[in-house]
Structure 1
Amino acid sequence: MAAVKMITIDLDGTLLRSDGTVSDHTVAVLQQARKKGVVTAIATGRMYQTARPYGERLQLGDSPLLLFSGGLIETLESKKVLYQKGIPEEDSRPLLALAKEKGWQMQTYIDDVLRVAEDGPWIKDYQRITRCAYDVCGDAFYTPQGACNKILSRGEHDELEKRRDLIEERFPGRFNILFSAPTFLEIMPPGIDKGQGIRRLGELYGIGTESIMALGDSQNDLDMLKAAGLPVAMANASDEVKAAAAYVTASNDDDGVAAAVEKFVL
Structure 2
Amino acid sequence: MPTTPNSPIIKMIATDLDGTLLRDDKTISPENIAAIQQAVSQGIIVVIASARPPRGVRSYYETLNLDTIQINYNGAAHYDMIRQQFTKHLPLNPQFTRAIVDLAREVDPDVCVSLEVQDKWYTDRVDENLLVETAKQFGPDLVAHLDEIFHEPVTKLMLLAPPDRLKPIHTQVRETFGNQIAIHQSDDHLIQIVDPAVDKEHAVREVAEYYNIARENVMCIGDAQNDEGMIRWAGLGIAVENAWPDTKAIADQIVPSNQNHGVAHAIQKYALQHQAPPCI
TM-score scaled by length of structure 2: 0.89
Provide the secondary structure at the position in 2 that maps to 1:21. Answer: coil
The residue number in structure 2 matching 1:211 is 217
CA distance in 1, matches of 2:225, 2:148: 28
The residue number in structure 2 matching 1:72 is 77
Higher deviation after alignment, 99-108 or 135-144 = 135-144
The residue number in structure 2 matching 1:98 is 103
Matched, 1:158 2:185: no
The residue number in structure 2 matching 1:88 is 93
Instruction: After superposition, give the CA deviation of every residue in 1:15-52 in whole Å (9 maximum; x if it has no partner).
Output: 00011101122112111111111110000001011011
The residue number in structure 2 matching 1:110 is 117
The residue number in structure 2 matching 1:185 is 191
Is the CA contact (8 Å cut-off) linking 1:6 and 1:211 kept in structure 2? yes
The residue number in structure 1 matching 2:64 is 58
Is the CA contact (8 Å cut-off) linking 1:43 and 1:70 kept in structure 2? yes
Matched, 1:225 2:215: no
Matched, 1:24 2:30: yes
TM-score scaled by length of structure 1: 0.93
Structure 2: unaligned runs, 5 residues or longer: 1-6, 273-280
**Residue number among 127, 134, 149 corresponding to 1:120 in the alignment:** 127
Provide the secondary structure at the position in 2 that maps to 1:168. Answer: helix
Provide the secondary structure at the position in 2 that maps to 1:13. Answer: helix
**Residue number among 31, 52, 55 corresponding to 1:46 in the alignment:** 52
The residue number in structure 1 matching 2:21 is 15
**Residue number among 215, 237, 240 corresponding to 1:234 in the alignment:** 240
Instruction: After superposition, give the CA deviation of every residue in 1:155-199 in whole Å (9 maximum; x if it has no partner).
Output: 222322211211122223211012111112111110211111111
CA distance in 1, matches of 2:135, 2:149: 27
- The higher radius of gyration belongs to 2
The residue number in structure 2 matching 1:262 is 268
Q: 1:261 to 1:127 in 2, by over 3 A?
A: closer
Is the CA contact (8 Å cut-off) linking 2:53 and 2:119 kept in structure 1? yes
Is the CA contact (8 Å cut-off) linking 2:95 and 2:150 kept in structure 1? no
Root-mean-square deviation over aligned CA pairs: 1.7
Quote the offset at 1:99 in angstroms. Answer: 3.5
Is the CA contact (8 Å cut-off) linking 1:235 and 1:251 kept in structure 2? yes
Provide the secondary structure at the position in 2 that maps to 1:106. Answer: strand
Amino acid of the residue matched to residue 191 of structure 2?
Answer: L
CA distance in 1, matches of 2:253, 2:135: 28
Is the CA contact (8 Å cut-off) linking 1:96 and 1:142 kept in structure 2? no
Instruction: After superposition, give the CA deviation of every residue in 1:97-124 in whole Å (9 maximum; x if it has no partner).
Output: 223444121100002111211122344x
CA distance in 1, matches of 2:116, 2:209: 26
**Residue number among 244, 247, 260 corresponding to 2:253 in the alignment:** 247
Quote the offset at 1:143 in angstroms. Answer: 4.2
Provide the secondary structure at the position in 2 that maps to 1:73. Answer: strand
